[in-house]
């Protein structure tokens, strides 16, 4: 059951709570089993499962509290900031500070956290992410750019606080 580990990992990143994550994953499988006849063969099964998990989370009390804390205005026009040789990420990698990256991801608003985790941890394509969180591919790209910029800012702040 390989997808199980990834779904659980994603669930705990969303909920920040072990018990809630367990309930969320269990409910996801339960809904998937009940709704399996509605799954269209040939469409993306992974995106379908993650969409169930995400929608279930968003309708939970924790999900309602943590969603939509960032303005979604002008997502399409996000500029892409270039990185430099002295990037926080290269410094972090040098130091091997995994915990600091985890804290910086944790502090991201939900809409940034989910998109960056789906892309970089779950290795989903832009199209898969678009299907999972039900937004256009262009919005996935701009939201990813904003998420990564926010992560860089967070990492830089953490390193300056060293």
Partner 1 sequence: MACDLWRDKIAAYADAELPSEEMRAMAGHLRGCASCTADLLGRVQLKRAVANAGNRFTPSIDLRERIQKGLPPKEKSFSPWAWMPKLAVAAAFMAIAFLLFREWPVGRQGQTFAELADLHVATLASANPVDVVSSDRHTVKPWFQGKLPFTFNLPELAGTPFTLEGGRVSYLGQAPGAQLIFRIAKHRISVFIFQDRPAFRFSPGDSRSRRATFNVETWAEQDLRYIFMGDADPSDVHKLSELLKAVTRP
Contact positions vs partner 1 (CB under 8 A): 1-6, 8-9, 12-13, 18, 21-23, 25-27, 29-30, 32-34, 36-37, 45-46, 80, 82-85, 87, 89-90, 92-93, 98-99, 101-102, 105, 116-117, 119-123, 125-126, 141, 144-145, 148, 151-152
Q: How far is the CB of 27 from partner 1 (least distance, A)?
A: 6
Rounded CA-CA distance 93/70 in Å is 28
Q: What does each C-alpha distance from 34 to 52, 58, 133 come to in angstroms?
A: 12, 19, 21
Contact 124, 118 (CB under 8 A): yes
Q: For 102-161, give the DSSP string.
A: HHHHHTS-HHHHHHHHHHHTS---HHHHHHHHT--HHHHHHHHHHHHHHHHHHHHHHHHT
Q: Which is nearer to partner 1, 74 or 99 (CB)?
A: 99
Which of residues 13 and 57 has its CB atom nearest to partner 1 in the complex?
13
Structure tokens at 107: 């502090």
Min dist. Cβ of residue 142 to partner 1 (A): 10
Nearer to partner 1, 1 or 74 (CB): 1
Q: Least distance in Å: CB of 97 to partner 1?
A: 9
What's the rounded Cα separation, in Å, for the pair 62 and 16? 9
Shortest distance, CB of residue 139 to partner 1, whole angstroms? 14
State in angstroms the smallest separation of the CB of 120 from partner 1.
4
Contact 112, 147 (CB under 8 A): yes
For partner 1, give the closer residue by CB, 38 or 71.
38
């Amino acid at each position: 059951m390989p997808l199980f580990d990834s779904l659980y990992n994603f669930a705990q990143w969303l909920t920040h709570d072990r018990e809630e994550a367990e309930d969320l994953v269990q409910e996801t499988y339960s809904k998937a089993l009940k709704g399996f006849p509605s799954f269209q063969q040939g469409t993306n099964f992974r995106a379908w499962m993650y969409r169930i998990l995400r929608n279930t989370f968003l309708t939970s009390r924790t999900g309602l509290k943590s969603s939509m804390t960032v303005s979604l205005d002008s997502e399409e026009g996000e500029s892409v900031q270039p990185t430099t040789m002295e990037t926080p990420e290269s410094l972090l990698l040098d130091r091997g500070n995994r915990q600091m990256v985890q804290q910086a991801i944790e502090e991201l608003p939900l809409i940034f956290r989910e998109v960056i985790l789906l892309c970089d941890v779950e290795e989903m394509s832009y199209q898969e992410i678009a299907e999972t969180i039900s937004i256009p591919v262009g919005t996935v790209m701009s939201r990813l750019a904003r998420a990564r910029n926010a992560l860089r800012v967070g990492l830089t702040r953490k390193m300056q606080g060293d």
